[in-house]
Amino acid sequence: MRISFLAILVACIGLSAFAGEPASPAVMNAAAASGMSSDLTLDNFLTEGWDQSYTPRVRADGTQDVELRRVTTASLKQEIGLTYEFENDVKSYWERDFHFVDAQAEMALNRRLSLAVADSYEWINTRARYRNESGMQAAFLGRLQLVETEHSAYSFHLTVDTPDLGLRIKVTTLNYGLAGWNDLTPFGLPRVGLYYSVSESVYLGPPTGSGIRNDLTYAVSLAKTWTGPAGMRDFTTFIEAFANSALDGRVEGRTNSSLTAGISLPVGKSQTIIVGVVIPTTKPRGYEAAYELQYVFHF
Summarize pLDDT for 114-149 with one digit per residue, the tens: 999 999 998 887 776 666 777 889 999 999 999 999
Residue 251 pLDDT: 86
Query: Across the chain, which distance is largest between two alpha carbons, in Å?
Result: 72
pLDDT beyond 60 at 229: no
- Poorest-pLDDT segment among 10-19, 47-56, 203-212: 10-19
Cross-strand bridge partners of residue 210: none
Cross-strand bridge partners of residue 154: 147, 180
pLDDT beyond 90 at 50: yes
What is the mean pLDDT of the segment spanning 172-189?
95
pLDDT beyond 80 at 197: yes
**Is there a contact between 247 and 211 (Cβ–Cβ < 8 Å)?**
no
CB atoms closer than 10 angstroms to residue 60: 9
Q: Which domain range does residue 43 map to?
A: 2-298
| CATH number of the structural domain spanning residue 21 | 2.40.160.40
Q: In the chain, how many domains are there?
A: 1
